[in-house]
Amino acid sequence: MKQALIVSYHFPPSDQVGALRPAKFAEYLPEFGWTVRVLTADPASTVEGVQFVSELAVEVGTAPQWPGLREWAMRLKRKPTSSEGAADAGGSGWAESYQTSRARRPLRDLIYSLMWLPDDKHGWIVPAVHQGLRMIRETRPDVLLVSSPPHSAQLVGLLLSKIADVPLVVDFRDPWVGNPATPEFIRAGPTPRVHAWLENAVLSRATAVITATREHADALEASHAAGRKKIHVVPNGFDTAMFAGLATGGSDRFTITYAGNFYHTRTPQPLLEAIGMLRDESGIDTSKIVVNLIGDCEFANGRSVLEMARQAGCEASVAMRGRLPHAEVLGDLVRSDLLLLLANGQPAQIPAKAYEYLAAGPPILALVERGATADLVSRAPEVDVLFGSDPAEIAGVLGPRLRAWSPKPVGKWSRPEAAAAFDRRDTTAFLASLLDRAGVN
């Protein structure tokens, strides 16, 4: 069998969503003639909560992350409060600090931007290259498959490919250059130009380039016309085996579920305000509604989500579930009456959860931009796509669902036709064909 070395900062037992895609590649590639080994970050750097349960029979090499410029700067700052920490996770805490310092000391522009060059995981690059060369000396791979973000992984792959002369295939789960979610303080100084230069170096070296959406592929083709023929789309997806046997229905309250973290501009506030409006203006009994928030959902845009709910008058309807094992999350999705999807300001990206929402089956309420996510969820038989975050508009689509709702009997999950094209085994089969060509070249 051919050998692939996957380089990904996130990999199980990391509980980050970025670990799921490379893990599924590693799980299914052997079915298509590829033996897989993995180079990833030491779990001490990546595991923050509930670990992914992984039974993959894969050799994994780990490398520690040395402190980067951002870590050293944070050590010099006072320890943040919980709300500041939550804001920092989405970039806004550092953005606010950046704006304040910018007014006082323009020279800090350069310092702040260098802290994220190419991102805040740059302390992993040197240890990962060292460990990767050791793994290559032990068993030379036919191809390197590098998945990012964090895009420091792409620099690891670039260096390994050049030093060891191994074909390089790069997988961009999200855009590197031109990502709307990039905080403003990272765009200061020379950092954007350096990012563009680094991305070009990676794409020039790569034998094949993979993106998760057609929109991102189109953007890369426009900016890297010479490499157009080697850019391909391998979408995210869902794992049929993980859904098989899950029970649907059985809830005695209208259940709205959001799975994921609140970052960038994502916030449940418009939904909570809509629920409050329905109670005040339409007399709907909100005690029959539960909003399940699964993940790091305590804060959004630096504000307490429970405080948002209190102000909207629906605090009793909000259930903070925290981080849960992946299998348990899927069970919650299929039992829900409505799935909330937030994808504001990211027209070329699709949240990985959107594919599992599509596979789970319940109706979807999508507050999104026009673009990739809207196009995907429009496949669902029951979906309300709203381009904006107007609570009144949300109440307008939510109200009829609440009035028509009645408890559903317990049933058994079956795959919706709209999700059929996104089974991870099938998408990995296409990836294997790309690796076959890269290994030959």
Integer Cα distance of 405 and 213 in angstroms = 35
Average pLDDT over residues 342-363: 93
State the pLDDT at residue 15: 80
Q: Is the pLDDT of residue 68 over 80?
A: no
Q: Is the pLDDT of residue 135 over 70?
A: yes
- Report pLDDT digits (tens) over 110-123: 777 777 889 989 99
Same domain, 183 and 39: yes
The count of domains in the chain is 3
State the pLDDT at residue 85: 39
Q: Is the pLDDT of residue 346 over 80?
A: yes
Sign, Cα dihedral of 310, 315, 318, 324: positive
The count of other CB atoms within 10 Å of the CB of residue 53 is 10
Task: Report the range of poorest mean pLDDT among 73-82, 301-310, 416-425.
Answer: 73-82
What percent of the chain stands above pLDDT 70? 88
Same domain, 32 and 46: yes
Q: Mean pLDDT in the chain?
A: 88
- Report pLDDT digits (tens) over 143-155: 999 999 999 999 9
Q: Which helix (H) or strand (E) holds 24?
A: helix 20-28
Same domain, 28 and 132: yes
Q: What is the domain-level CATH number for residue 265?
A: 3.40.50.2000
End-to-end CA distance of the chain: 17
What confidence tier does 349 reach under pLDDT thresholds 50, 70, 90? Answer: very high
Same domain, 140 and 262: no
Same domain, 252 and 296: yes
Q: Is the pLDDT of residue 364 over 90?
A: yes
Average pLDDT over residues 352-366: 97
Q: Is the pLDDT of residue 342 over 90?
A: yes
Same domain, 278 and 319: yes
Q: What is the DSSP letter of 385?
A: E
More confident residue, 90 or 162: 162
Domain holding 250, by residue range, is: 240-421
Same domain, 187 and 333: no
Same domain, 153 and 232: yes
What confidence tier does 46 reach under pLDDT thresholds 50, 70, 90? Answer: low
Q: Is the pLDDT of residue 330 over 50?
A: yes
398 phi and psi angles, rounded to 5 deg? -80, -40
Strand partners, 292: 257, 319
State the pLDDT at residue 71: 72
Same domain, 87 and 148: no
Q: Is the pLDDT of residue 47 over 80?
A: no
pTM: 0.88
Query: Is 415 in contact with 186 (CB distance < 8 Å)?
Result: no
- Report pLDDT digits (tens) over 376-394: 999 999 999 999 889 999 9
User: What is residue 231's three-state secondary structure?
Assistant: strand
Same domain, 191 and 245: no
Q: CB burial class (10 A; 0-12, 13-18, 19+) of residue 7?
A: buried
What confidence tier does 50 reach under pLDDT thresholds 50, 70, 90? Answer: very low
Same domain, 87 and 123: no
Quote the tokens at residue 335: 């039992």
State the pLDDT at residue 104: 45
Residue with tokens 């970039």: 91
- Report pLDDT digits (tens) over 228-275: 899 999 999 999 999 999 999 999 999 999 999 998 889 999 999 999
Q: Is the pLDDT of residue 81 over 50?
A: no
Same domain, 60 and 129: yes
Buried b / exposed e over 229-250, threshold 16 CB at 10 Å, is ebbbebbbbbbbebbeebebee
Task: Report the range of poorest mean pLDDT among 80-94, 163-177, 202-216, 421-435.
Answer: 80-94
Residue type, 91: G
Integer Cα distance of 367 and 264 in angstroms = 14
